[in-house]
Amino acid sequence: MLKKFIIGIFKPKFLFRYIVKSKAKSCKGKLSVNGFSTVNNNTHLGYNVNFNGMKITGKGRCTIGDNFHSGTNCQIMTDYHNYENGTKIPYDNTVIVKDVLIKDNVWLGNNVIVLPGVEIGEGSVIQAGSVVVKDIPALSVAGGHPAKVFKMRDIEQYNKLKDQKQFF
């Protein structure tokens, strides 16, 4: 009820941006949040970050580079339950913390999940619905469950646009 009231008074994207900026550890600026999003307090955001519905959870560090874009309903996790060496079954109340690093100019499609400990290289594109369980090299196009690289971006075109500062 309170959420509906607040959203009714304020334009949602300004409220969503406020929620992210107030919780993130750092933000270089030009943050656009067009769908309800939340981050952990160990999130570091680059310049020109665009969320369209992002949930960053866990106790680990999540670093997102410049010119990042996400589709709707994306998740980034920075820890997971201790199911192997815990004191209870199926897991106990301890967690394994692993940082996530997403470099500059990365685009996540709708409903992408990034698991703890992953690095996504510069200029990569992750296909909608993918689950990223291991590192993705720079300039890759990856998709699936688990996400696998199936194509590389044209490095000459990428560098030309980067040199011309043609960022969306």
pLDDT at 14: 84
Which tokens sit at 138?
A: 């720079």
Instruction: Respond yes or no: is residue 81 known to be catalytic.
Output: yes
Beta bridge partners of 155: none
Divide the 168 residues of the chain into consecutive groups of 10 and give the mean pLDDT of each group. 55 85 92 94 97 97 98 97 88 93 98 98 98 98 97 96 91
pLDDT at 6: 53
* Beta-carbon contacts of residue 104 (< 8 Å; ≥ 6 apart): 46, 65, 66, 67, 68, 122, 123
pLDDT at 40: 97
Global confidence as pTM: 0.90
Do 97 and 60 meet the contact criterion of CB atoms below 8 Å apart?
A: yes
For the domain bounded by 12-163, which CATH number is listed? 2.160.10.10
pLDDT at 4: 59
Indicate the domain borders of the chain: 12-163
What is the 3 state secondary structure string of the chain? CHHHHHHHHCCHHHHHHHHHHHHCCEEEEEEEECCCCECCCCEEEEEEEEECCEEEECCCCEEECCCCEECCCEEEECEEECCCCCCCCCCCCCEEECCEEECCCCEECCCCEECCCCEECCCCEECCCCEECCCECCCEEEEECCEEEEEECCHHHHHHHHHCCCCC
CA distance 166 to 47: 14
* Active-site residue (options: 44, 69, 81, 145): 81
Please state the separation of Cα 82 from the chain's center in Å.
23
